[in-house]
Structure 1
Amino acid sequence: MGTATMRAVRLHAFGGPEELIYEEVARPEPGPGEVLVRVQAAGVNPPDWYARRGFENVPAELRPNWTPPFILGSDISGVVTALGPGVTEWKLGDEAFGLVDFPGRASGYAEYVVSPATHLARKPAVLGHTDAAAVPMAGLTAYQYLFTHLSDRIGDTVMVNGAAGGVGHFAVQLARVAGAKKVIAVASGRHEEFLQDLGADRFVDYTRTPVEEVVREVDLLIDTVGGPHAHRLLPTVRPGGRIAPVFLGDYRPERAAELGITVETMWQVRSSGSDLAELATLIDAGRVRAAIDSVFPLRDAAAAHTRAEEGHLQGKIVLNAEG
């Protein structure tokens, strides 16, 4: 009997989206503590295109040493089709979603993926697989920042910079769940109605008005943008307030300290089936929802990456892997 195969998208060389090749590869088998999932949909995340480019945007000392060919992708939603030894919490046919092996390297851009059983949670009943695949990395980043890393240090007023993107739109919603009395969303003008519908109390269009000129006394700034000009937002945060960076940025730590502002260590999201189950409960209760920017067939992962590079996303990009 020959080796079982599947279709997957592999990166054969670092570079542009054209390096993502849809092809036939060997199907993985679950080991102890693992399950095999028939992937119905896979989320596309920034670490995917960082990896595709060879992590050129990551400082050399932090850069993973990955060698092509390999399969990208860590966000998946699908159906459990096989159990490894010792797995008792899952059964065949269960619908599951998860952030698989992160930080680390999973292989979600495929028809099948092996995952540690503890990295998965039951798919929210109110979501189909496409919507569920949009949740894990972005949703867990916001959830773990607010409920694990910061916990009771959120304050009354939370501002989310880059509020319309993957992490940003979850942060807007979860800040309210975490107890914020006022949520300020910063994005370009076309996202205003979208973010107000998610519960933002105030919207600032950064393309028309410099945020640092019109916002003051923020208790917590969740900055999903970062970059060399991140320090321009220091005037928006009150003395005693905090900045929670999702991406690397220059916050001028000496100046921040002078202003009495704490710049938190950048939080690294981690796979957690238990955290994802809590997030699923909030989704099923209607308190959090996932927004989809666009959906592409798995075979068109290159086109999905091209869309990601255009920027100004409203929610998440998802690959449909249903055959």
Structure 2
Amino acid sequence: MKAVQILGDISSPRIVTNDDMPTPSPSGSEILIKVHAAGITGDAVTWPEIYATPSRIPGHEISGTVAALGPDYLGPLAVNQEVFGMLSADRGQGQAEYAICSAAEIAPMPSSISHAEAAVLPIPLLTAWETIVDHGKITPSTKVLLTGASGAVGSVFVQLVSLLTGAHTIALASAQNHEALRKHGAENVVDYKAAGWEKSIGKFDVVFDTVGGDILTKTWDAVADDGIVVTVGDPPPAWAFGRGKAVEAETRPGVRYMHFIVSPDAERLAEASSFIHSGRMKPLAVQSFGFGDAVEGWTYAQQRNRGKKAVIVFDVYNCKRD
């Protein structure tokens, strides 16, 4: 089968394409997916798990059809059914013509969108959902600040938090993205380039940071004394993964803070699929690249402020929607 690989090491990664990789076979209760499209996350070249994977095939977001079911699979999915999903962080290997997954990782995809659009949704959807429900425990009365609101995770979060909780969100983004974010449901939008925004914006129960770095540091001035800062910024802060305490916590002891890596969740994907199919949630804008242009696609995905989510298309015919 055809597949993308990341060769070299984490200090000097090299994206290549390979036309002659072995096609996997499902065992036990595994599911084999014929991948029509696979999302690209540019920062994935810095994730250590890819360098421990024998195949060196990256990719955690896929959309396609069920090609085969393992002998022990007893679930509702059927061969040729259209699905989308997120492969677990420790495995991946989605940027290939075929990929192995578990039932917990995939769900029926929304029939109203293309495979290219479906392939870039799982990580943003599940990251936003996990923040809203599990970590932020957001309710209708929760005051929420979102950073990096125009990115993939931010764009989905603004829509999903309204659908799931009705809470109002203040979104931090560059000026050219303000109108789109208001249409998605942001109560107000603030320019992250405005001097001193962190001291004048108010205090929030939940800060959801998707940027990291200086922006994450500034959000400590905008979180309530008993609030929480949740970040998925990449690279992770120095205190992530139990490596110590945040410096800011010395003077703000009541503020909770956490960094997390999103987990697969087929049930949440299925529910989000209904939101998209009904038109209550809009899909992300995508920039598609054929397998032969996969290296170019990775270059595009690593650009900041690109406006669209990059996707590799393995099956052009099946990625189309009338």
Same fold flag (TM > 0.5): yes
Aligned residue in 2 for 1:271: 264
Deviation string 1:7-40 (CA, Å, 9 cap, x unpaired) is 1111222366753224321111111111111111
Structure-2-length-normalised TM-score? 0.86
SS state at 2:302 partner: helix
Partners of 1:8 and 1:23 within 8 A in 2: yes
Q: Are 1:128 and 2:124 counterparts?
A: no
Deviation string 1:132-158 (CA, Å, 9 cap, x unpaired) is 111111210111121223335684321
Identity fraction in percent = 29
Partners of 2:289 and 2:312 within 8 A in 1: yes
Structure-1-length-normalised TM-score? 0.86
Describe how 1:174-189 pairs up with structure 2 within 5 A.
174-189=160-175
Partners of 2:50 and 2:57 within 8 A in 1: no
Aligned residue in 2 for 1:58: none
Partners of 2:26 and 2:68 within 8 A in 1: yes
Could you say if the C-alpha distance between residues 265 and 68 of structure 1 is closer, same or farther in structure 2, counting changes exceeding 3 Å? same
Q: Are 1:92 and 2:85 counterparts?
A: no
Match of 1:244 among 230, 255, 270: 230
Aligned residue in 1 for 2:288: 295
5+ residue gaps, structure 1, are 1-5, 56-62
Partners of 2:110 and 2:274 within 8 A in 1: yes
Match of 2:273 among 280, 301, 306: 280
Aligned residue in 2 for 1:149: 135
Q: Are 1:11 and 2:6 counterparts?
A: yes
Q: CA deviation at 1:267?
A: 2.3
5+ residue gaps, structure 2, are 240-244, 317-322
Aligned residue in 1 for 2:305: 312
Q: CA RMSD in A?
A: 2.5
Deviation string 1:100-147 (CA, Å, 9 cap, x unpaired) is 1x1212211111111112211000122211111111112101111212
Could you say if the C-alpha distance between residues 186 and 35 of structure 1 is closer, same or farther in structure 2, counting changes exceeding 3 Å? same
**Count of aligned pairs:** 307
Could you say if the C-alpha distance between residues 108 and 64 of structure 1 is closer, same or farther in structure 2, counting changes exceeding 3 Å? closer
Describe how 1:59-98 pairs up with structure 2 within 5 A.
66=52, 70-88=56-74, 89-98=76-85
For 1:65 and 1:106, the matched residues in 2 are separated by 11
Could you say if the C-alpha distance between residues 229 and 273 of structure 1 is closer, same or farther in structure 2, counting changes exceeding 3 Å? closer
Partners of 1:183 and 1:200 within 8 A in 2: yes
